[in-house]
Amino acid sequence: MENTGFGKLKISIVGLGVIGGSFAKGLKDVPKAKLYGIDTDENTLAKAKNEGIIDQGFIDPFIPVQESDIIILCIYPKQITDFISKYKDCLKDGVIITDATGIKQGFIEKINPILPPNADFVFGHPMAGREKKGIDFSSGEVFKGANYLIVPNERNKEENINKIEELVKAIGFKKISRISAKRHDEIISYTSQLPHAIAVSLINSDEWEEDMGLFIGDSYRELTRIASINESLWCQLFMGNGENLIHQIDLFQNKLNQLKSCLVNEDEENLIKLFKESSERREKIS
């Protein structure tokens, strides 16, 4: 990998679960960057150290937070607010903080008022991940070619946004876009949260007595893959973006009712139109 300019930096990853572990595995190839891992689980830290994906592990964030030039927060939204509140007074001057949280608007409104002036929080969202929990399911490959969203706000310095863009490019993200917090949450409610809501509802509607494993093919398997869900995290994401998600559920139910109406009325013509519309829309997605 080419020299990306991160050689002298100290980077801390808070939370070495599936996303934090994937960041660590991606960053281990960044030349000479010193990487700290922070986690409440001693076994996770030991595993990360033994596998060589971090240089040093900490349960207590106090020391690494004081030394870090970049802090990547891979913990739940409510935990991030608590983390900033607790450690804001020991942040290194000029530190850049970023996150991997799937909701932004209300979240930013809580973080910025408690953030000290010497710190810059560049809010980010990697559009890649896995349903399983824990470092055992992390992978540096999961970010290769994936999309990454940056949600700037009025506090950010342009050079710090650029630094985060360089960092995520270095670990393999391909398309990096900037978007407002409001628009981010509106679109993510459709592209991320609604699919999870559909998958959960679909698999929870199973009332068959037969062994369903004998009857499923790729369609059911793919549709329900994300129903294996981190319940605590996704509860926070759904509740934190409830208004937008409710709107998307209403739109989806309207479309499902259109399809149902075609069946009730034996309306083959309009059913075919719905199928054609979906095919055309899907083909436009790269």
pTM: 0.90
Torsions phi, psi for 154 (to 5 deg): -65, -20
Say if CB 36 and CB 13 are below 8 A apart. Answer: yes
| CATH code, 184-283 | 1.10.3660.10
**Ramachandran quadrant class, 150 (left: phi over 0; alpha: psi -120 to 50; beta: rest):** beta
- Closest among 98, 104, 95, 53 to 72, alpha carbons compared: 98
**At a CB cut-off of 8 Å and minimum separation 6, what does 53 contact?**
21, 24, 25, 28, 35, 37
CA dist., res. 66 & res. 87, Å (int)? 9
**Domain assignments of the chain as residue spans, ordered by start:** 10-179, 184-283
- Does the domain at 10-179 match CATH 3.40.50.300? Answer given as no
User: Helix crossing, 242-264 with 268-283: angle to 10°?
Assistant: 140
Q: Which residues of 1-16 are buried (b: 16+ CB within 10 A; e: fewer)?
A: eeebebeebbbbbbbb
Torsions phi, psi for 10 (to 5 deg): -105, 125
- What is the residue-level pLDDT of the chain in tens, covering all 286 positions? 344 566 678 999 999 999 999 999 998 877 667 999 999 999 999 999 999 999 999 999 999 999 999 999 999 999 999 999 999 999 999 999 999 999 999 889 999 999 999 999 999 999 987 666 788 788 888 899 999 999 999 999 999 999 999 999 999 999 999 999 999 999 999 999 999 999 999 999 998 888 888 999 999 999 999 998 889 999 999 999 999 999 999 999 999 999 999 999 999 999 999 999 999 999 998 6
CA dist., res. 22 & res. 260, Å (int)? 42
Do the domains 10-179 and 184-283 sit in the same CATH topology, yes or no?
A: no
